Amino acid sequence: MPARGRTPRPMKVVIAGGGNGGLWAAHRLAGSAEVTVVEAGIDPGDPVPRRFLHEHGFPDCDWDYTDTDSGRHLVRGRVLGGGSTVNAAAGSRGQAGGFADWGEGWQWDDLLPALREIESDEQYGDREYHGDRGPIRITRLSPGPLERAFGEAAAAEGHADCPDHNAPGAFGVGPWPTNRVDGGRWGCLAAVAPLVRPRVNLRAQTLVRRILFDGDSATGVEIEGPGGVERLPADLVLCAGGAYGTPELLWRSGVDAPQIGVGLQDHPWVMLDVEADPDAIAQRPVSGSLLRGWLDDPADEYQVFPFSAWLYDRTASRGTWSVSVALMQPESRGRVTRGPGDRARISLGHLAERRDVDRMLTAIERTDAVLARMEAEGTIKIPPGSWWRGVDLERELRRRVETYNHPVGSCGIGRTVDRRLNVRGTRGLKIVDASVMPSIPNGGPNLVSMAIGLIGGSLALADAGLARTP
């Protein structure tokens, strides 16, 4: 007990990583605890430089991971705001049924209050399943001519009109919900970092080398930054390095928790490139339209969205319209293993399960039917010899499958962490990022990882007796 008249010192919390989960956890904890956020990348500052709002591709702010299965580069933002600073600003939550296997305390109804607190939905903020006061702005952009033609063709193929893809049970074709303001991405760097900076100690361009322990209790971290190597004491350490970075940190720290790296999942996707009028593409290069369909039942969801290939690949023609097809509830799982220098060795494991192959083939065929209608109307041209119309579609699919860059699950709830996000076998150590997702949502993990950070901060306060769990 503290001496009479003496104010007890605040709880010291160190958050390793300033991405979605880390910044939202900091936002919830600041004011109730002494919080230090350690981010390996830069803090671009406020106001956010234009390139972090409007450009795509940041090789100077990337962790340089590779999928060992395919040799393809895996984009991960090494910058304040993490993935939400470098991604395409997708603001889709996924279907409620996609969280059914997450366990007690992590069902859709448990997550919804946090999702509502995060967002301010410009079109549907007055609905009970949306929020209208959060810092993350959600909007739906007006379609360009190609998106309108895409919607008409999809409707002719039997897909319903879907004005709000974040409504319960939403399927069909309609505008993609996106976290953008004035055409620029509005992720955690733009929306949350300004709320956090004045209230925490932010250490940018600083790597957490390892977590420090006294027995099984985390007591702080060892960091390396512009000032050299230091030790920061803490009552609680929150890992927020993401599905690849958090396993690396645990390994560097000598943590032997169950199944670290097991259960990795990502959405497999492929691009069906067609030719279109460059001026029509430029009117809505990204985030204009989203088609959500299902195969055998609603749990077998696939998504189709078109975008300007040039926007992400400057070697592509400005007349190339990439129509992407993604499987949203894959059964296949990959793994993150410990490589040389404790670097993550990543195997995404796409299409390892036969059922995923069959579902992807069906989704591609259904998408081709939509494109054929657009070609018949003269809106696009499907190039001769297009791979998805070849004689060996499965072979081409396996060769071309890529990642949505939505990695989750490498430290899942029920495996590496318990339902309160405590790392098993330790004390004073939680994980508050996408790595704890037991399975991948059937939507982008962008908003869900923010919700995990917010809930993780609340759990930390409740465990310390400073607040009740929401």
Model confidence pLDDT, tens digit, residues 2-45: 555 566 789 999 999 999 999 999 999 999 999 999 999 999 99
Q: Does 196 count as an annotated binding residue?
A: no
- Tell me: is residue 404 an annotated ligand-binding position: yes
pLDDT at 56: 87
* Residue that is written with structure tokens 């985390």 in the block: 218
Mention every residue, 6+ apart, whose C-beta is less than 8 A from residue 48.
189, 190
Whether omega for the bond prior to residue 10 falls within 30 degrees of 0, making it cis, is: no
Would you place residue 299 in the very low, low, confident or very high pLDDT band (cuts 50, 70, 90)?
confident
Q: Please report which helix (H) or strand (E) contains residue 151, including its range.
A: helix 145-156
**SS3 assignment, position 191:** helix
Q: What percent of the chain has pLDDT over 70?
A: 98
User: Which amino acid, residue 353?
Assistant: E
CATH number of 9-140+180-265+336-345+406-470: 3.50.50.60
Query: What confidence score (pLDDT) does residue 287 get?
Result: 83
- Over residues 427-447, the mean pLDDT reads 96
Helix axes 393-400, 354-376, angle to 10 degrees: 100
Token reading at 93: 């939550």
pLDDT confidence bin for 286, thresholds 50/70/90: confident
- Cβ-contact 143, 286 below 8 angstroms: no
Sheet with 268-275: strands ordered across: 172-174, 290-294, 301-308, 320-327, 268-275, 402-403
Rounded to 10 deg, the angle between the 145-156 and 354-376 helix axes is 110
Q: What is the pLDDT of residue 5?
A: 57
Cα 98 to Cα 273: distance, rounded to the nearest angstrom = 29
Q: Give yes or no for residue 381 having a pLDDT over 80.
A: yes
DSSP label at 435? G
Q: Which of 137-141, 168-172, 296-300 has the lowest mean pLDDT?
A: 296-300
What is the tally of helices (H) and strands (E) in the chain? 13, 24
pLDDT digit string (tens) for 172-224?
A: 999 999 999 988 999 999 999 999 999 999 999 999 999 999 999 999 999 99
358: tokens are 């069959």
**CATH architecture of the domain formed by 142-175+268-327+351-400:** 2-Layer Sandwich (3.30)
Q: Is the pLDDT of residue 350 over 50?
A: yes
Q: What percent of the chain has pLDDT over 90?
A: 93
Query: How far is residue 433's CA from residue 416's CA, in Å, rounded to a whole number?
Result: 13
The model's pTM is 0.96
Mean pLDDT of 47-55: 95
Query: Given this model, what pLDDT does residue 88 score?
Result: 86
- Residues 302-329: tens digit of each pLDDT: 999 999 999 989 899 999 999 999 999 9
Three-state DSSP at 244 gives helix
Chain-wide mean pLDDT for the chain? Answer: 95
Mean pLDDT of 234-261: 97
Task: Work out the angle between the directed axes of helices 446-463 and 20-29 (0-180°, nearest 10).
Answer: 40
Domain boundaries, the chain: 9-140+180-265+336-345+406-470, 142-175+268-327+351-400
**Is residue 401 marked as binding?**
no
Confidence class for position 57, pLDDT limits 50, 70, 90: confident
The type of residue at 252 is R
Q: Which regions of 228-354 does DSSP assign to beta strands (E)?
A: 228-233, 236-239, 262-264, 268-275, 290-294, 301-308, 320-327, 334-338, 344-347
Give me the pLDDT at residue 3, please. Answer: 52
| Contact call for residues 15 and 202 (beta carbons, < 8 A) | no
Query: What average pLDDT does this structure show over 41-59?
Result: 95
- Is residue 108 over pLDDT 50? yes
Decide if pLDDT at 66 tops 70. Answer: yes
CA distance 432 to 243: 11
Is residue 470 scored above 50 in pLDDT? Answer: no
Q: How far apart are CA 187 and CA 313, in angstroms?
A: 22
Tell me the C-alpha to C-alpha distance, in Å, between residue 13 and each of 58, 97, 239, 372: 30, 34, 11, 56
Say how far apart CA 15 and CA 243 lie, in whole Å. Answer: 16
Compute the distance between CA of residue 317 and CA of residue 43 in angstroms, rounded to an integer: 33
Taking the C-alpha atoms of residue 230 and residue 149, their distance in angstroms, rounded to an integer, is 58
